[in-house]
């Protein structure tokens, strides 16, 4: 897997991604503590709204940027996005009103919505060989998992020495370093001709391609199950740790780290599992496992006082992380195998936007229900959504069908791994 790092351009881009992720991880911890300082017990509601604003930016801004991205040099777009994010992070420590948090979060995440799809579209051109590109997808997933583990641990260490406001400084450094690495990378010229037609047609082409494949429609339902679990963790960890369990602020990153540890463990084990089990079987079983974890969390939430509740929360968070990773990690394989090569950048961009639409629903639900109706109501509601999503995915994603070997554009007789995958036929390609 590490052989792909011999490519200098990809190595610089991956390093830029990792550094920016660490900065974002520090900001996530700091933002939760900032919300608690401003809103107290309503911190979950404030954080849930802020994260919903983040998802609005992702869902609305990413397609709009995609429609005009071919008119802007990609290096300039990514560097500009990094610098905007650094400037916003620099301002966050000085806010003292909830509305200020919302405005800055929207600006920061709009810049992220411009950076991430552009980064994803560049990598296939930097690594044109299918094997290299597959390795790059695996490394990118592992980078997210490692960040989920490392950033909370780093935040915990820093919080023992400094106040949380200084964590935003680490975010600024991360984005500036990311911009410098992008500048140092030699990006290839776009290989594909730009799409023609109106802005709306170009912005929605990837979504129409995505929804044309049954397994990708199933993937969208699975994304909603992952978002239901992830929203409980992201939005209500601060409330569980500080109010429900009465623990210190330093334990917040430890709980988030448990979620990252579970995700990373699943990602490391998954390649061996996929050698023996189909993508569909792994992902659907993981979705129903998430429902079981919700049941366990509901039991822990309703339980009385006891020292066991803290390790139980850590174990539950780790299980949520593992289940989410088992669904998200193979997603790139589904998209790659279900689409024609020329359509993959648009379909990956559609996955970015559509998956974040799921988080746009679950983030405010987790925050508002937790603040107004209590944590138990939030757990039961999102658990019900996860169950409905898992059942819908099983129905939308056929268990049998034409199979394709990984990285191949031709059907095989069946490889024992690709069950349930069917490539979008050429006639479904939306080209304007």
334 within 8 A of 346, measured Cβ to Cβ: no
| Res. 417: pLDDT tops 60 | no
Confidence of residue 134 (pLDDT cuts 50, 70, 90): low
- Whether the predicted pLDDT of 400 surpasses 70: no
- Does the pLDDT at position 294 exceed 90? yes
User: What whole-number distance in Å separates Cα of residue 294 and Cα of residue 384?
Assistant: 9
For residues 87 and 67, what is the distance between their CA atoms, to the nearest angstrom? 25
**Helix or strand run (H / E) with residue 403:** strand 403-404
For residue 203, the enclosing domain spans 2-428
pLDDT at 187: 80
User: With 50 as the cut, is the pLDDT of residue 223 above it?
Assistant: yes
pLDDT of residue 317: 93
Cα–Cα distance for residue pair 12/309, rounded to 1 Å: 43
Angle among Cα 183, 189, 193 to the nearest 5 degrees reads: 140
pLDDT of residue 151 exceeding 80? no
H/E run at residue 418? none
As a whole number of angstroms, the distance between CA 285 and CA 288 comes to: 5
Distance between CA atoms of 26 and 170, rounded to whole angstroms? 7
pLDDT of residue 87 exceeding 80, the answer is yes
Taking residue 341's Cβ as centre, other Cβ atoms within 10 Å add up to: 12
Return the pLDDT at 149.
64
pLDDT of residue 282: 93
Report yes or no: 248 and 310 within 8 Å, Cβ to Cβ.
no
pLDDT of residue 195 exceeding 60: no
Q: Is the dihedral of CA 305, 306, 307, 311 positive or negative?
A: negative
Q: What is the mean pLDDT of the chain?
A: 78
Name the token pair of 52: 């919903």
Cβ atoms of 282 and 273 within 8 Å: the answer is yes
Top pLDDT among 123 and 240 is at 240
- List pLDDT tens digits, range 363-390: 888 888 988 888 899 999 999 999 999 9
Q: Which residues of 103-120 are buried (b: 16+ CB within 10 A; e: fewer)?
A: ebbbbbbbbbbbbbbbbb
Q: What is the CA radius of gyration of the chain?
A: 21
Q: Which residue has the higher pLDDT, 236 or 382?
A: 382
Structure tokens at 101: 């948090």
Distance of CA 427 to the CA centre of its chain: 31
Burial readout 52-64 (b: 16 or more C-beta within 10 A, e: otherwise): bbbbbbbbbbbbe
Per residue in 175-185, pLDDT (tens digit) is 899 999 998 88
Token pair 């579209």: residue: 121
- 411 three-state secondary structure: strand
- Token pair, residue 104, equals 């800055």
pTM to 2 decimal places:
0.72
What are the beta bridge partners of residue 403?
412
Q: How many of the other CB atoms lie within 10 Å of CB of 204?
A: 19
CATH number, position 34:
1.20.1250.20
Chain-centroid distance, C-alpha 27: 16
- The number of folded domains in the chain is 1
Longest dimension (CA), the chain: 63
């Amino acid at each position: 897997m590490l052989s792909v790092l011999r490519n200098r351009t990809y190595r610089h881009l991956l390093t830029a991604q990792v550094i920016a992720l660490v900065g974002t991880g520090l900001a996530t911890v700091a933002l939760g503590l900032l919300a608690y300082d401003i809103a107290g017990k309503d911190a979950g509601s404030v954080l849930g709204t802020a994260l919903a604003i983040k998802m609005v930016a992702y869902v609305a801004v990413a397609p709009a940027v995609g429609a005009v991205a071919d008119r802007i040099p990609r290096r300039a777009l990514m560097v500009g996005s990094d610098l905007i994010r650094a400037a916003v992070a620099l301002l966050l420590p000085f806010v003292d009103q909830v509305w200020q948090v919302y405005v800055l979060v929207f600006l920061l995440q709009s810049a992220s919505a411009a950076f991430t799809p552009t980064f994803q579209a560049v990598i296939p051109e930097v690594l044109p060989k299918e094997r290299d590109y597959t390795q790059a997808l695996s490394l990118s997933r592992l980078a997210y998992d490692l960040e989920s583990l490392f950033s909370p641990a780093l935040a915990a260490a820093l919080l023992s020495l400094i106040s949380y406001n200084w964590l935003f400084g680490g975010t600024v450094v991360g984005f500036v370093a990311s911009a410098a690495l992008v500048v140092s990378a030699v990006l290839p010229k776009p290989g594909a001709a730009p799409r023609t037609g109106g802005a709306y047609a170009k912005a929605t082409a990837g979504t129409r391609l995505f929804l044309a494949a049954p397994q990708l429609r199933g993937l969208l339902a699975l994304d909603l199950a992952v978002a239901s679990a992830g929203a409980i963790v992201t939005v209500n960890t601060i409330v569980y740790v500080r109010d429900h369990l009465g623990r210190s602020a330093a334990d917040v990153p430890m709980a988030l780290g448990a979620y990252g540890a579970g995700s990373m463990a699943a990602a490391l084990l998954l390649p061996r599992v996929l050698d023996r089990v189909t993508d569909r079987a792994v992902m659907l079983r993981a979705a129903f496992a998430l429902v079981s974890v919700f049941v366990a969390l509901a039991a822990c939430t309703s339980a009385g006082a006891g020292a066991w509740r803290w390790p139980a929360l850590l174990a539950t968070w780790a299980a949520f992380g593992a289940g989410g990773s088992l669904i998200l990690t193979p997603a790139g394989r589904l998209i790659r195998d279900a689409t024609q090569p020329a359509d993959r950048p648009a379909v990956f961009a559609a996955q970015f936007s559509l998956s974040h639409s799921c988080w746009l629903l679950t983030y405010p639900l987790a925050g508002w229900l937790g603040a107004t109706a209590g944590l138990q109501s939030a757990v039961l509601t999102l658990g019900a959504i996860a169950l409905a999503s898992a059942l819908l995915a099983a129905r939308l994603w056929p268990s049998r069908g034409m199979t394709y070997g990984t990285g191949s554009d031709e059907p095989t007789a069946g490889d024992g791994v690709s069950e349930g995958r069917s490539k979008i036929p050429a006639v479904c390609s939306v080209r304007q």
